[in-house]
Amino acid sequence: SSERFAFLFKPGHYNVEVPVGYYTQVAGLGDSPTDVVFTSPKGVYSEESSHSMDPGSLNTFWRAAENFQTDADFAWVSGQHGMIWAVS
């Protein structure tokens, strides 16, 4: 795809839900992951990575999430090509 999406969050607390689809990156712009915090029930999530979705974690490639903290209880299972870095 020639279309790419990046959601960049300045340091702060966010009560939003950010679905991460194909060719999408979500990044916190703080010096550390604790500088950007998502407080909503899902936070930054990928429905396709849920244990209850089919094909589950095998469908998380071409997505990235990095450098933020989440208080969400929605688990994101990383597949072989899914990228999750410095997320607490």
Question: What are the tens digits of pLDDT across the range 21-66?
Answer: 888 899 999 999 999 999 999 898 876 655 555 555 555 567 888 8
How confident is the model at residue 52, as a pLDDT?
55
Longest Cα–Cα distance in the chain = 36
DSSP category for residue 87: E
Tokens representing residue 23 in the block:
């060719």
User: What is the rounded distance in angstroms from the CA atom of residue 26 to the CA atom of residue 84?
Assistant: 10
Tokens representing residue 64 in the block:
């990235």
| Average pLDDT rounded to a whole number, residues 6-20 | 95
User: What is the rounded distance in angstroms from the CA atom of residue 34 to the CA atom of residue 57?
Assistant: 26
pLDDT at 81 over 50: no
pTM of the model: 0.75
